[in-house]
């Protein structure tokens, strides 16, 4: 069994990015600049967005964090987005989700200039992704592709079962893995909360992508021997033995499933760190395309 070590792979990618920054500087070129907008004080969102900003600093990117209060109106958020859209120093930016309920998320994502949409959430970029055209692939699916690539996991001709059909993970993952691409050419089954015979399907899978957000949902009796398992789930479970007061649990019962798997991602340290690394990669890409 091989652990698909997202923490180490993400560190490798960040080292590669840092070298590219040095090269850009040596050539007198502009360093990539990522901006992030966060609305409100949600603890998990603040942790994620701070991790993104810190990661920028570590690789030598410039970063800007824009913090807006919980009661920010949709109009003023749209105004902030427009400022970033026209700021030529900003190569890419993200709006940290979820947004407060009084703000229409779709309207906000639509307002981001697709050329700066390093999260890859704008319909233009989702459409390009679906057509296998050059674009920004959103960071979590992009990270999963990269992890499979760097560990030489064969996907061609394999049966992939994706659990979950969200716009940010399950749906793009199913599209990407079925495409004719380096990591792709798989036969993909996408499943969701209305799927009836899930276990029958997962038992046929060579590769399982679990992205449903139910802790330890995928058990050993649901997978065949030598399966590859990508655990996207992150749920905070209260744990008084931890300094933070919680621990992170994935969608896979790791201890039992890892005994049958040939490749498996841990939680934490699997898909999570890859997501940030690929956001940085998209920012570099945005900077290169623009300049």
Residue number with CB closer to ligand NAD (129 or 198): 198
With contacts defined by CB under 6 A, name the span among 94-102, 115-123, 212-220, 277-285 that binds ligand NAD: 212-220
From the list 14, 52, 116, 281, the catalytic residue is: 52
Residue 252 is given by DSSP the state B
Give the annotated binding-site residues for NADP(+): 164-166, 234
DSSP labels, 50-104: HHHHHHHHHHT-EEEEEEE-TT--HHHHHHHHHHHHH-TT--EEEEPSSPPTTS-
Contacts of 45 (CB under 8 A, 6+ apart): 38, 96, 97, 98
Residue 52 catalytic?
Answer: yes
Query: If binding means CB under 6 A, how many residues of this protein chain bind ligand NAD?
Result: 24
Using CB under 6 A, which of 186, 212, 227, 286 touches ligand NAD? 212
* Residues annotated within a binding site: 164-166, 234
Exposed, middle or buried by CB within 10 Å (0-12, 13-18, 19+), for 243?
exposed
Closest among 146, 232, 210 to 183, alpha carbons compared? 146
**How many Å apart are CA 268 and CA 232, to the nearest integer?**
10
**Among 117, 119, 231, 251, the one annotated catalytic:** 119
Out of 35, 109, 188, 211, name the contact with ligand NAD by CB under 6 A: 211
Smallest distance, ligand NAD to C-beta of residue 76, A: 26
Q: Which of 132, 193, 244, 291 binds ligand NAD (CB under 6 A)?
A: 193
Considering only residues 232, 253, 279, 280, which one is a binding residue for ligand NAD as defined by CB under 6 A? 232
Q: Specify whether 89 is catalytic.
A: no
Per CB under 6 A, the list member of 275, 281, 286, 287 interacting with ligand NAD is 275
Scan residues 156-185 and list those touching ligand NAD (CB under 6 A). Answer: 163-166, 168-170
Q: What's the min distance (Å) between Cβ of 251 and ligand NAD?
A: 6
C-beta of residue 271 within 8 angstroms of C-beta of residue 5: no
Query: Please, are residues 185 and 159 in contact by the beta-carbon 8 Å criterion?
Result: no
- Nearest-angstrom CA–CA distance, 189 and 198: 10
Active site residue 204: no
Per-residue x/- marks for ligand NAD, 52-71, CB under 6 A?
--------------------
User: From start to end of 195-257, where are the E strands?
Assistant: 207-210, 228-231, 235-238, 246-249
Residue keyed to tokens 């498996």? 264
Q: Which of 96, 117, 251, 281 is catalytic?
A: 96
Out of 34, 234, 277, 279, name the contact with ligand NAD by CB under 6 A. Answer: 234
User: Is 126 one of the binding residues for ligand NAD (CB under 6 A)?
Assistant: no
Q: Whole-number minimum distance, CB 166 to ligand NAD, in Å?
A: 3
For residue 11, the Cα-to-chain-centroid distance in whole angstroms is 15
- The answer to whether the CB of 125 falls within 8 A of the CB of 99 is no
- Residues at the site binding ligand NAD, with contacts judged by CB under 6 A: 140, 163-166, 168-170, 191-193, 195, 198, 211-214, 232-235, 271-272, 275
Q: Hey, which residues are catalytic here? A: 52, 96, 119
């Amino acid at each position: 069994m091989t652990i698909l070590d997202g923490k180490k792979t993400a560190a490798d990618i960040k080292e590669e990015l840092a070298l590219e920054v040095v090269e850009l500087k040596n050539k007198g070129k502009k360093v990539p600049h990522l901006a992030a907008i966060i609305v409100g004080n949600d603890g998990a969102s603040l942790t994620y967005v701070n991790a993104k900003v810190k990661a920028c600093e570590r690789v030598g990117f410039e970063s800007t964090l824009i913090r807006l209060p919980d009661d920010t109106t949709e109009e003023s958020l749209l105004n902030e987005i427009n400022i970033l859209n026209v700021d030529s120093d900003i190569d890419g930016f993200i709006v940290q989700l979820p947004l407060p309920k009084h703000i229409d998320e779709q309207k906000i994502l639509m307002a981001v200039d697709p050329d700066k949409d390093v999260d890859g959430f704008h319909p233009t970029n989702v459409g390009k992704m679906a057509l296998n055209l050059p674009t920004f692939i959103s960071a979590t699916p992009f990270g999963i592709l990269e992890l499979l690539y760097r560990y030489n996991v064969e996907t061609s001709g394999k049966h992939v079962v994706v659990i979950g059909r969200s716009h940010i993970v399950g749906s793009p993952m199913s599209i990407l893995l079925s495409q004719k691409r380096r990591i792709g050419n798989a036969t993909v089954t996408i499943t969701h909360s209305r799927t009836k015979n899930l276990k029958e399907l997962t038992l046929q899978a060579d590769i399982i992508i679990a992205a449903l957000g139910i802790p330890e949902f995928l058990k050993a009796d649901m997978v065949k021997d030598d399966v590859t398992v990508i655990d996207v789930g992150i749920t905070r479970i209260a744990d008084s033995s931890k300094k933070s007061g919680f621990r992170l649990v994935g969608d896979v019962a790791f201890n039992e499933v890892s005994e049958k798997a040939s490749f498996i991602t841990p939680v934490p340290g699997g898909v999570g760190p890859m997501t940030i690394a690929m956001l940085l990669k998209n920012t570099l890409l945005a900077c290169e395309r623009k300049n």
